[in-house]
Amino acid sequence: MKYLLICAFSLFTSYNTVNKIAQDCKVKLEAINKKYEGDCKKGYAHGFGKAWGASDYYEGKFHKGLPHGEGSYTWENGNTYVGNFSKGLMDGKGVLTLKGLSGKETIKKGFFKKGKYLGVYERPYKVISQTGIRTIKFRENSIKQNEVRITVYKDGQIITPSFTITDLNNTPVENRNGTVLTNVVFPLKRVDLSFNVDTFTYKAIFEIYKESNWEVTLSL
């Protein structure tokens, strides 16, 4: 009998402790600060938890009172996001599902930054490798053409070496005041280029994912 009383008291104490933590634990994001259940640290949601607002709901990791890490968020209108959060905002890899008025869903899958959708790829371009080339810079041009112009600088001066260029899409290459890939189909995958200057062979492999008009500058 004494053992049962001790167990009952322990359960009662644990229940009250959990409730107290949940009640005293604050969520900084106003849309989900009506009710909280989960881990707490120094008075704020910290660790894994669930939070409710007037209509919104979040379940996942918290850091200092804000969604931070892996989690899922549901809005009042039925939109959902499952993925990574940072300081209360969609940030990192995730899937955003938007409910249309007709019931049709629009799904945005890929990468997010500070609450905004970046696209399928985290960055619009990527350098895979480079040999002998000091820097490779990418810049979008305002001209709306699907071209990629490649310019080489040595000692601050433009030089015009003869390129060997291939890519997975077999993109046409023209020489028009420099080397230009024309009628590019994006994503432009694995552009493999090489050229010789003063008996040395320079090489680079890069990819461009965002559709635009690009200028790629190689500095030796």
**Residues 145-192 pLDDT 10s:** 789 999 999 999 999 999 999 999 999 999 887 899 999 999 999 999
d(CA 191, CA 137): 14
Alpha helices, H only, the chain: 2-24
pLDDT in tens, 52-92: 999 999 999 999 999 999 999 999 999 999 999 999 999 99
Q: Is 9 left (phi over 0), alpha (psi -120 to 50) or beta?
A: alpha
**In the chain, where the domains are located:** 2-119, 125-219
Burial of 107 (0-12, 13-18, 19+ CB in 10 A): exposed
- Give the model confidence (pLDDT) of 15-55 as tens digits: 344 444 445 899 999 999 999 999 999 999 999 999 999 99
> What's the pLDDT at 178?
81
pLDDT higher than threshold 90 for residue 211:
no
* Measured CA angle at 186 (ends 182, 192), to 5 deg: 70
Q: What is the reported pLDDT for 23?
A: 53
